[in-house]
Amino acid sequence: MLNASERFFLIDCGEGTQKQLRVHKIRFTKIEHVFISHLHGDHCFGLIGLISSLGLLGRKAALHIHSHPDLEKILQPQLDFFCKELPFEVKFEPFNPKESTVIYSDKNLEVETIPLRHRVPTVGFLFKEKPEDRKVKKEFVFIHQPSIREILDIKKGADYHTKDGIRIPNAQITNNPPPIRSYAFCTDTKYTEGIVDQIKNVDVLYHEATFSKDMAALAKKTYHSTAEQAATIARKAEVGELLIGHFSSRYKDLNVLLNEAKTVFSNTSLAEEGRVFNILLK
């Protein structure tokens, strides 16, 4: 679950999702958009249960589900059968998983897909804040008394012209807006450097690390990554922080994977159930 200024975005919805949301007291009624990376059960089996519960809780607002076009074919019959009286609309928002596209945009945030390499068509998601307007300096407003129209133009980067025709460059009368933050979510995928450019410099990268490096052959065969590979992507993309997850159940001690990743990229953490991470500027 991504909380972006109190807007809630659910990314993938495996079987245990609803239970974990309840256990960790996350207000899942506030979810407006769900992003499904690919149509493997561990990433979408939780949808029908979650939607049904939202209906019982009396939700009215539409729920948008962004996914491969086939999800509608799978989920609509279940909705027709189990959720006949649903008090809100489920809006399917299909995208083409083969290309990178902007699939969501509001005034603060944009989401684009990151094509990955897995056994079925799969994408990651890149969440990027939109830059705010430039901040107009108070002294300038006090001295020159610009009109509202002029202030709006200056916020967008325009210079100011005094009544005597003197040009004051924008940089002198404004301050930079706060820097934007970004988060990339990449699961499931084999090691692919093709994503590095797109996720370059993100503040936080979540990357799957299903296996340890001694199982690299199995990782390749099943289109998954090792912890070392996840960390290599993080290092090449020069991200701020790496979160690893999607661990094979064979690992009883996840420190094996954490330590392996840390030897390549030190600022790595385990994305374990219930943990909360702040997205800090790198």
User: Given the rule CB under 5 A, which residues bind Zn ion?
Assistant: 40, 42, 188
Least distance in angstroms from the C-beta of 98 to Zn ion: 16
Q: How far is the CB of 245 from Zn ion (least distance, A)?
A: 10
Nearer Cβ to Zn ion (54/257): 257
Choice between 34 and 83, CB closer to Zn ion = 34
Instruction: Give least dist CB 282 to Zn ion, A.
Output: 27
Q: At what angle do helices 47-56 and 70-82 cross, to 10 degrees?
A: 40
Q: Which is nearer to Zn ion, 129 or 188 (CB)?
A: 188
* Annotation says 42 is catalytic: yes
Longest dimension (CA), the chain: 75
Cα(192)–Cα(225) distance, integer angstroms: 9
CB 120 → Zn ion: shortest distance, Å? Answer: 7
End-to-end CA distance of the chain, in Å? Answer: 21
Q: Which is closer to Zn ion, CB of 38 or CB of 128?
A: 38
Cα–Cα distance list, 273 to 1, 105, 128, 237, 247 (Å): 11, 28, 24, 26, 12
**Which one of the listed residues 42, 70, 159, 253 is annotated catalytic?**
42
Token representation of residue 69: 């076009």
In terms of CB distance, is 43 or 59 closer to Zn ion? 43
Residue 160 CB, nearest distance to Zn ion (Å)? 54
For residues 137 and 220, which CB has a smaller minimum distance to Zn ion in the complex? 220
Closest distance of CB 119 from Zn ion, Å:
7
Structure tokens at 124: 């990651």
Query: For residues 92, 56, 16 and 31, what is the CA-based torsion angle, rounded to 10 degrees?
Result: 50
The answer to whether residues 46 and 54 touch, using CB atoms and an 8 Å cutoff, is no
Amino acid at 130: K
Phi, psi of 118 (to 5 degrees): -140, 180
Euclidean distance between CA atoms 244 and 203, whole angstroms: 14
Tokens describing residue 52 = 């049904």
Decide if 82 contacts 48 (C-beta within 8 A): yes
Residue 66 near residue 33 (C-beta atoms within 8 A): yes
Nearest to 267 by CA among 236, 231, 226, 233: 231
Catalytic residues: 42
